[in-house]
């Protein structure tokens, strides 16, 4: 993963990449929240062989991304991996820092269900503004950035393993997923992540005006004025993003000695 320092992979560099991706996650949600739910985009449609517009859009967008070489990187994982076309253009091979079985690790089915069943109702309002094509494109952007963030867990796991093989190896050999989960969990880091994403949603989600806001200091607009409720961001990370990242870490580690 270039963003995490290529061959000089370190926990600090991977964590920096995760912090930068928080901005992209917050902005993707802010953009989608500009439209109401737009239920017809999710209804099975005859034109899409019984699939919804959103699923049709994701499948077609992934085929294009595959031709452009997007899925050559282990952190870019497609939602519909079957029958994806090969890259059409030369791709620069990145340093092989991960175990070859890393490509088998995916939690995209869980991300898909979480996004449509749990998250979308939390940050979009009921309604229909007719912008279905835009809605599908914005959902794809949200799904793609969430999936990338979560699958960077493969690199996190690799660094943690390299830093302490003596601690991880016996647990991997014993296939002890629960103890692996305990060992790779850093509660203090997770608390900071939750606070920071909430703050980012509060900061990026306010209207920027040129008038003086009498009585209000910069960056202190009430949560009701934010385009996405900041607590939704901390809930998203607390309940889904971080647990799924850790599932990726455990799944990767379980294959690390194969
Ligand atoms: C990603 C890491 O592993 C775990 C998952 C975290 C996350 O998803 O943000 C944070 C801390 C760890 O419990 C890490 O240690 O940085």
**Using an 8 Å Cβ cutoff, are 256 and 157 in contact?**
yes
Q: How far is the CA of 211 from the centre of ligand 1 (A)?
A: 40
Q: How far is the CA of 157 from the centre of ligand 1 (A)?
A: 9
The pTM (predicted TM-score) of the whole model is 0.94
pLDDT at 7: 57
pLDDT at 194: 98
Residue 62: C-alpha distances to residues 59, 82, 136, 181, 254 (Å): 5, 11, 13, 31, 28
pLDDT at 221: 57
Residue 56: C-alpha distances to residues 28, 133, 225, 231 (Å): 20, 11, 34, 31
Pocket test for ligand 1, best of 150, 156, 158, 253 (most atoms within 8 A of CB): 156
Q: How far is the CA of 53 from the centre of ligand 1 (A)?
A: 34
Tokens of residue 35, six digits: 């439209």
Pocket test for ligand 1, best of 146, 246, 249 (most atoms within 8 A of CB): 246
Dihedral sign from CA coordinates of 58, 63, 64, 69 = positive
Q: How far is the CA of 189 from the centre of ligand 1 (A)?
A: 7
pLDDT at 58: 98
pLDDT at 47: 84
pLDDT at 213: 59
pLDDT in tens, the chain (258 residues): 654 445 578 999 999 999 999 999 999 999 999 999 999 999 999 887 899 999 999 999 999 999 999 999 999 999 999 989 999 999 887 788 999 999 999 999 999 999 999 999 999 999 999 999 999 999 999 999 999 999 999 999 999 999 999 999 999 999 999 999 999 999 999 999 999 999 999 999 998 889 865 555 544 557 878 899 999 999 999 999 999 999 999 999 999 999
Q: Is the ipTM of this complex over 0.90?
A: yes
């Amino acid at each position: 993963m270039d963003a995490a320092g290529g061959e000089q992979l370190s926990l600090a560099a991977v964590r920096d990449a995760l912090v930068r991706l928080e901005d992209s996650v917050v902005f993707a949600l802010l953009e989608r929240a500009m439209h109401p739910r737009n239920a017809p985009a999710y209804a099975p449609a005859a034109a899409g062989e019984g699939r919804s517009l959103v699923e049709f859009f994701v499948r077609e967008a992934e085929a294009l991304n595959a031709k452009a070489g997007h899925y050559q990187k282990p952190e870019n994982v497609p939602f519909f991996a079957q029958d994806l076309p090969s890259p059409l253009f030369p791709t620069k091979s990145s340093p092989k820092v991960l175990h070859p079985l890393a490509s088998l690790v995916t939690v995209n089915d869980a991300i898909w269900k979480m996004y449509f069943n749990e998250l979308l109702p939390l940050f979009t309002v009921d309604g229909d503004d007719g912008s279905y094509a835009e809605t599908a494109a914005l959902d794809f952007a949200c799904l793609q950035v969430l999936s990338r963030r979560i699958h960077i867990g493969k690199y996190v796991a690799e660094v943690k393993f390299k830093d302490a093989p003596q601690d991880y190896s016996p647990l991997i050999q014993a296939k002890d997923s629960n103890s692996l989960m305990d060992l790779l969990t850093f509660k203090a880091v997770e608390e900071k992540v939750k606070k920071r994403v909430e703050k980012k949603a509060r900061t990026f989600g306010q209207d920027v005006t040129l008038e003086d806001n009498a009585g209000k200091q910069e960056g202190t607009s009430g949560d009701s004025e934010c385009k996405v409720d900041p607590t939704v961001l901390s809930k998203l990370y607390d309940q889904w993003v971080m647990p799924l990242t850790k599932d990726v870490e455990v799944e990767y580690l379980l294959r690390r000695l194969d």
